[in-house]
Structure 1
Amino acid sequence: MNANAMASLALLCGLLAVGGAITAVAVWRGWSPRPRTTRMRRTQQRAFEELPARWRELYRWLLTAAAAAGILVWAWTGWPIHGLLTAAAVAGFPYIWHPGGSAQARINRLDALAQWLRQLASVHVAGVPLEQTIQASVPNVPAQLRAPVTILAQRLRAGFPAQDAYQAFADELADGTSDDVVLMFMDHADNRGPGMARALEKTAAKVAQKVTDAQAVDAERAKVRTNARTVSVFTLAVVALGMLSTNYTAPYGTLTGQLLLIALGLLFVGALKWMRRMAQPRPEPRLLLPARSRQHGGTR
C-alpha cells in the first residue's frame, strides 16, 4: 500500500475515532440511541421486505459477495474507497434492479388486509369479543400480515388492554388504511355493539377498492421505474469498465481523489433515492398518532 493509501486509511480511522468519542460523550450525558435504533431497524426491515422473495432468500450470500468484491477491488487498486464503493454497489444492486418495490409491497399488504378482514367477517359471531376472533384467525392470516397479526394475537392472549394492543398493531403497519381498520377495532372494544361482521365486510370492500386503485397508479409509474433501472445499471456499467483503465482511475489515486469519490458515490445514492421516490406513491396520511408521539403529549 502506497503512502497516499495509508493517508486515506488513516483519515477514515480518524473520522471513526472522532465519531466514537462524540457518541461516548453523548451517552455519558444521558443520550439514549434506542428510539432511533428502533426506528432504523424498522426502516431497514421495511426496505428488506420490499425486495422479491428470491432476492430476500439470497441476500445473505449477496452480502458475502459484496464484502469479497470490496476486498478484491481494494487489493487490486490499493485504495479503500474503491473497495467500499464496489461493496456498496453489489449490496445495493437488488434495490437498483427493483426501484419500485415498496409500491408493490404496500399493494400486497393492503390485499392481505382485505383478505384477513373477510376471514374475520366470515367467522365472527355476534356476542363473541373480536379479540377472540382475531386470535382464532392466526393460522389462516395471509403471509404479508402473519407476523404483525400473530404479535397482536399474542398481546391480546397475554392480557394486554385491547386499545393498547390495537395501537401497537397500527404502529407496526404505519398506514392510513390500516389506521382506519384499527379505529373500527377500537370502537368495538369500547362499545361491543352488534353488526361487527357487516362492518368488517364493508371495510374489506373499501380496502379491496384501494388495492384496485393502487394497482392502476402503479402501472402508470412503471415507465419511471424502468427509466430509473436503465440509468442506474448503465451508470454502474460505465464506472465498472472505467475502473479497469489505469488512465481513467489515475486522478482518483490521491487523497483528494478518494474524497471526491466519496462525494460522487453519495450523490449517486441521492439520485437513486430521488428517482425511487418519484416511482413510489406517497404514503397515505395516518389517522392515529404513533404511541411515542402520544406519550410526548401529541394530540390528534
Structure 2
Amino acid sequence: MNEQALRITMGPVPYLWEGTKWRDFYFGVADSPVVDAVTLGEVVCSKREHFIRPFLDEVIERLEAAGKEVALATLALVTLERERQLTRQVTQSERLVEANDLAALAMLAGRPHHIGPFVNVYNGPTAELLARQGARRICLGAELPAQSIARITAAAPAIDYELVAFGRLPLAISARCAHARAKGHTKDNCQFVCGEDPDGLDVDTLDEQAFLTINGVQTMSRHCQALIGDLDTLARIGITHIRLSPQDCDMLAVAGVFAGVRDGRLGGAEGTDMLRAIYPAAALSNGFIHGAPGMDWVAA
C-alpha cells in the first residue's frame, strides 16, 4: 500500500488517566514518526476534565512542535451548564475542533472543523450538509459496513473521512454513571472510581459470559476493533485517516504495526498476531466493516 494512502490519527484517551500519565502518553505520541494527526481532550465525562487541564497547553505545544496536526475534541453528551460552558470554551479555540455533540456543531457552523464519531453520519446527504457547514473531516461510526461507507464518501468526496481502526468501541453514553454505581457510589459523589480501571471495567452477564466494558458514563464494546487486515479496503472506499483509540497498552507499538502493514513491510496476518501480543486484554474484532456482528472476527 502507498505510504500516503492512509494517515494515522491518535484519538482522545477515553479513560480516566492521571494527568501525568495522560501528558506522558501524548509526549510519546509527539515523538512517534508514524502518527500524523492527534485529536485530544475530554470526550466522556466533564468531571474528568480538570485532570488534563493543567497539562493541555504543553501537550499541544509538544505535538505541534513535532509537526502533528492537532484537533481538540468536545464532549459527547452535554447535559449540564458547566458542560455547555466547557463546550463553548473548546469551540472558541483557534485550533481545529472536533464536534462530538450537536450543540458543538451549532457553535462551529461556518468555521472549518472536524466531526467526531459520536455524531451520527449514516448517509451521503448528511455528509454533504456537514461539509457545507464547514466540516473538513468526518470520523464515521464504527458500526457502518464497507458498502455504506463507500456510498457516503462518494456523495461528499471533497472532505476527508476517518474510521476507528483500533480500540474498544463506544456503544452508548448516559447521563447516569454505571461505573460509579457498580462500585457503590453515585455520580455526584463518584470519587473518580473509574480511575481505578484505566482500561475500563469489564462486565459479564449473569451466566458469566463476557459482555461489555463500562467506562464512567460510557458503555463500550468488550472486544477491540482491529482493522489491521482491512487497510486496503478502507483506502479503496474513501477512508483517508485511520484512528487509533488509546487503550492501556503500548499504543506507540500499535501505531508502528499499522504503519508497517500500511507500508507493506508487514502482512495483515502478521500484524494481527502482533496486535494480539501487544494488547491481550481484549479479543480482536472486525465484524462491522464486513457487515457482520461487530464482535466477530472475519478472516481475510
User: TM-score range, shorter-chain basis?
Assistant: under 0.3
Q: TM-score, normalised by structure 2?
A: 0.25
Q: TM-score, normalised by structure 1?
A: 0.25
**Structure with max Cα Rg:** 1
Q: Which has the higher contact order (CA 8 A, sep 6+)?
A: 1
